[in-house]
Structure 1
Amino acid sequence: MVSVGILTVGIGGNNGVTLLAGQIANRRNLSWETLSGPMSANWYGCLTQIPPRGIHGGVGFQGRYDLASANDCVVGGWDIRPTKLGKALYDCRVLEYDLVRQVREEMDGVEIMEGVWDPSFIGESQYETATNVVSGDDNASTRARVERIRRDIRTWKEKHNVDGHITVIWSASVERPSEAEYESADELLNAIHDNGNNDDISPSMCYAVAAALEGCSFVNGGSQNTLSPAMSALFDQSYRQPNVQPECALQKFAPYSSGRAFCLGTDYKAGQTKFKTAAVEYLRALGLTPRVIASSNHLGNNDMLNLTTKKTLNAKMRVKSDIFGPWQEENLDHKVMVMYTEMIGDEKRDYVEYTSLGFLGSPHTMVTYTRCMDSILCVPLMVDAAIWCDFFVNNNVSAKDAARATAYLFKVPEGAAKGVDPGFFHQMRQLEDVLERACGGKDNKEGDDLIALGLRKGIISEEQATKLRELASK
C-alpha cells in the first residue's frame, strides 16, 4: 500500500498527539474501555475514511474514489517542546486512559524534530517550554531555517520509506500576523535567500516555503496570514519547472521539486464556525435575514492559552469574524468572544444565539450549545486534508480546484479558494463537483471530460486546460 506522509508542525500539541494516537489505534485495531462501554478504533469524522451512508449515499467517500487509507499513513513532525509524545497525550487528557495506556509506549518512541521558532510571533506563555528548537548555524538566517526544514523533510521521508504524497500541516500555536508582503514568488524567495533575519518572515512561512521546494503540500491550520499571492505562486507547478530562467530566484534553491503540491487554508473550520455557516445557510434558505450572531467559546488548552496574548488573539479574531464576508449580508452584527478557562482543558464549549428578521420584520431567534474535545473535531480535518492532497496530486487536479474542493475544511478559504461561498453544504457540492470532473464523472459535459482526461494523461498543461474551458464556456 502507498503510504501518505503527514508532517505536523506542533506534533506535541493536543491535535498532533491525538492524530498520532488515532492512527496507531486504527492501524492496530485497538479496543478500550470507556464510561459508556467498550469502544473500537474508527475514523469517524474523516470524510475520506468513512463509506457513504443512507439510501442516497450522503457524506462519506471511502469506496467511491481511489483514496489512500489513513491506516497506512506515516505521521511525524516538529515541536519546540521535547516532551515525549506518549506523555504529552497522557497530560492533555483528550482520550480515554485505557486507550492512552495502549499507545503510549509506541508514541514515546516517535522522533520529535526540532522546531523553527521566533518568540516575537507567539505569546509569552510559550517561551519557558520552548527548548527543542533549531539553533546554531541552522538558525543563523531565514534561509538557513528553510534549508534545515528541507533537510528534515528529505531525511524523514527516506527513513520512513514514504512513497505517497507528503503534506506539511501547521498545527502549532497561532502566530501574530506577519508584516512581510511580497508581490511574487521571486520576491519571497529573494527575501529569504538574501536577508539576515531582517524581514518579518514567520516560522509558518518558512515551513510553507520548504514544503513547496520539496514538492510537499502545505496546510495552514492556524489563523495567521501565512498564505499570500506570492506563497500561492510558489506552489504553482508551472513556476517550479526544471528549465526555469537563470535569473529566476528558484535557481538559488536548487535542487528543488517540480512536483505538484498545494497550499491550503486558513484555520480549520472544526466546531463552532462550521455549524455557524451551516446554521446561517439554513436561515438564509428560509428567506430570513440574519441580523445578530452573538457567540462565545471557552476552553483551557495550550492553543487558547497562547491567545491570551493580544498579538496572537488578533490573528484568531480576524478569521473568526470574517467567515460570512462573501455573503455580503448588510447590517449583520457578528460578535465573537473567546475565553481561556484552564480547568476545562481541551473540552471546548460554545454558545451561539442567532437572531434574524422574518415575515413583516418579526424576530426569529434560535440558540445552539456544543461541547466536544477540540482535538476530536480538528484531527479528522487534518487527515482529510492530507488524503485529499494525495488524491488530487495523483489525479492532476489544478491548484484552484484543489483549493475550492477543500474550502469546507477552513474558516476563511484563502489563496486559490478566496471568495468561495462560506455555506458548508455549498462547499460540499464544490468538493463533489471537483471529484466528478477529476474522475471523468458522468455528469460532466463531454468537452470537460476530454479536458480532464488530457490533464490526467499529461497531454495538455493546466494553463492549456484553463484556456480550453474558457473557450468552451463562451
Structure 2
Amino acid sequence: MKEQEIRRKEEILEPRGKLGVLIPGIGGAVSTTFIAGVELVRRGLGEPVGSLTQLGTIRLGKRYEYRTPRIKDFVPLADINDLVFAGWDIYDANLYEAAQFAKVLQKDHIEPIKDFLASITPMPAVFDRRFVRNLDGNHVKKGKNLRDLVEQLKEDIRNFQKTQGVDRCVMIWCGSTEVYMKPEDVHSSLPAFLEALEKSDERIAPSMLYALAALELNIPFVNGAPNLTVDIPALIELAKKNKVPIAGKDFKTGQTLMKTIIAPGLKARLLGLEGWYSTNILGNRDGLVLDDKDSFKTKEESKLSVLDYILQPQLYPTLYKNYYHKVTINYYPPRGDNKEGWDCIDIFGWLGYPMQIKIDFQCRDSILAAPLVLDLVLFMDLAQRANMNGIQEWLSFYFKSPMHKENLYPEHDLFIQLMKLKNTLRYLMKEEQITHFGLDYYME
C-alpha cells in the first residue's frame, strides 16, 4: 500500500448501509457470545465491556486541551445497529441452540434474544478432518475439488448479500485451530497456489479456502486462530492485488494477554528472567481440538513467540538470553469455557537475587474474545473504506502472533501496540501524532 493511496479524513468512504459479518465457525462459543452480545447491546440489555471501538477514548492534541473523544465518535466506524450476521459451521444447530450448548452465557442473557439467535442458521462448512482431528460434523460441503468448494463459499456470500441487502462485508475466522503447518512451495506465490487448488493439494487447509473466497470477492479477512491461513505469500499477494486488508493471527485473550502486560514491565525495569512456566485448563470445544498434539503445536508456536520479541535477549543477554519458557494446555471438560491459566515466573533483581511472580487468571475465554471480534470487524471495515490494503499491522493489539511485513519483526508489547493503533487513527483523521515527549511544556 502506498501512502498517497490511503484515504484520509473526508476522503474515507462513509459507512453507509448494512455491514455483513461472515464467520467460519459461527456456531462456536466465541461466535455465539459475540453475536448475542451485540444484539443485547443493541437492545439496551448489556454493555460492550472490553471493546475499544465502543468504550475507548483517544487523546488529541496537547494535554491542556483536554480533547478525548470516544473512538467511535472520532473515526467513521460502522454503527453496530448496521451489523448483519451469517456464517458456516460443521454442526447445523441454529445460534440459539449453539449458545445453549456453549454454556458461556446465562439463561437471562439468551432467552430475551431467542428469536434473533434462532433466526440465524449456519451454512454447511468446508471441513477436512485431517486438519482438525478431534471434531467431526455432518453439516459439510462436498465438491469435485478445492476450487469447487471455494466457488460454493462465494455463492453463499453472494446469496447472503442479496437476500439481506448487505452493502459491505468482513470475514473473520472464529473456527478451530488447525494442525501445524509451515509455508511450502504451493503457498509461495498466487499462481502456484491457484494451480495447487485445482489439483486439491493436501497442503491447502480449509481456512485458506475461506480466505481465498473472501479476497476474490474483495472482502477483508481476519484470522482469529493461529492457523497459517492468510499468512502466506500467495494470499498476501492476492490481498495487495485486489486492494483488500488482511489481519491476524490468533485472538489475544487470556494467558498471552497477561504476558504482553507483565513482560514489558519486567523489561522496562531491567529485571532478569530465569523461567516462565505457563499452564492452562480449558473444557470447551477449543480445548477438545487442542487436545490433539498437532493442533496444540500450532497454538504453542503462537504462544511461545511472545516473550522473545518483547524481551529482546539479543540486546539484553545477561537478563534474558537463557530463560526457560514452557507452555501447556490441558483439556478438562468440567471447566467448560471458564479457562484457568497459572503462571510461575522466576525473576531476579539487583546483584542477581531471586524473586517470583505467580498469576492465577480465572478467565472466560469467549467473554474476552467477543469484544475483540467486534473491534476487528469495525476496524477492518474502516481500513477497507480508507483503501488500506494488505497486512494491517496496526491491529497487532488484538493478536498473539501478529502478521507483519517480511523484513520486520512483530511488535508484541501491548502498550506499544495500543500506541500504534491510536496513532494510526490520528493519522487517518489528520491529527497530530502523540509522542509523549512532554519536555516542550517546560521550555521557555
Q: TM-score, normalised by structure 2?
A: 0.86
Paired AA for residue 82 in structure 2 = D
How do residues 179-258 of structure 1 correspond to structure 2 at under 5 angstroms? 180-181=184-185, 182-192=187-197, 194-195=198-199, 197-226=200-229, 227-236=231-240, 239-240=241-242
Asked whether the equivalents of residues 180 and 227 of structure 2 are also in contact (C-alpha less than 8 Å), the reply is yes
Paired AA for residue 311 in structure 1 = D
The CA deviation at 1:172 is: 1.1
1:441 pairs with one of 408, 427, 431: 431
Asked whether the equivalents of residues 96 and 118 of structure 2 are also in contact (C-alpha less than 8 Å), the reply is yes
Determine the structure 1 residue equivalent to 2:138: 131
Paired AA for residue 338 in structure 1 = I
Q: Residue by residue, what CA displacement relative to the aligned partner does 1:207-263 show, whole Å, maximum 9, x if unpaired?
A: 011110011111111122111122211111xx23xxxxxxxxxxxxxxxxxxx3222
2:289 pairs with one of 291, 306, 327: 306
2:107 pairs with one of 93, 97, 105: 97
Asked whether the equivalents of residues 402 and 411 of structure 2 are also in contact (C-alpha less than 8 Å), the reply is no
Q: Residue by residue, what CA displacement relative to the aligned partner does 1:356-385 show, whole Å, maximum 9, x if unpaired?
A: 221111123212211122100111111111
- 3-state DSSP of counterpart to 1:174: coil
Cα distance 1:420–1:205, how it changes in 2: closer, same or farther (>3 A)?
A: same
Question: Which of 1 and 2 has higher RCO (CA within 8 Å, sep 6+)?
Answer: 2
Q: How many residues align?
A: 403
Asked whether the equivalents of residues 296 and 336 of structure 1 are also in contact (C-alpha less than 8 Å), the reply is yes
- 3-state DSSP of counterpart to 1:110: coil
1:161 pairs with one of 159, 165, 168: 165
Asked whether the equivalents of residues 57 and 69 of structure 2 are also in contact (C-alpha less than 8 Å), the reply is yes
Q: Quick one: distance in 1 between partners of 2:202 and 2:287? A: 28
Paired AA for residue 354 in structure 1 = I
**2:350 paired with 1:335:** no
Q: Quick one: distance in 2 between partners of 1:289 and 1:6? A: 44
The CA deviation at 1:81 is: 0.5
Q: Quick one: distance in 2 between partners of 1:310 and 1:436? A: 43
Q: Quick one: distance in 1 between partners of 2:192 and 2:180? A: 19
Determine the structure 2 residue equivalent to 1:70: 80
Q: CA RMSD in A?
A: 2.1
Q: Residue by residue, what CA displacement relative to the aligned partner does 1:161-218 show, whole Å, maximum 9, x if unpaired?
A: 1223x221111111113465422122212221x31x2342110000011110011111
Cα distance 1:355–1:61, how it changes in 2: closer, same or farther (>3 A)?
A: farther
Q: Quick one: distance in 2 between partners of 1:69 and 1:373? A: 26
Paired AA for residue 48 in structure 2 = W
Q: Quick one: distance in 1 between partners of 2:102 and 2:422? A: 36
Q: Quick one: distance in 2 between partners of 1:217 and 1:53? A: 25
1:425 pairs with one of 406, 415, 430: 415
**Gaps (5+ residues) in structure 1?**
31-40, 241-259, 446-474
The CA deviation at 1:386 is: 0.8
Determine the structure 1 residue equivalent to 2:402: 413
The CA deviation at 1:351 is: 1.2
Cα distance 1:189–1:14, how it changes in 2: closer, same or farther (>3 A)?
A: same
How do residues 248-287 of structure 1 correspond to structure 2 at under 5 angstroms? 260-287=243-270
Question: Runs of 4+ in structure 1 displaced over 3 angstroms?
Answer: 53-60, 178-181, 415-418
Paired AA for residue 285 in structure 1 = A
The CA deviation at 1:60 is: 5.8
How do residues 107-146 of structure 1 correspond to structure 2 at under 5 angstroms? 107-123=117-133, 125-127=134-136, 130-135=137-142, 139-146=143-150
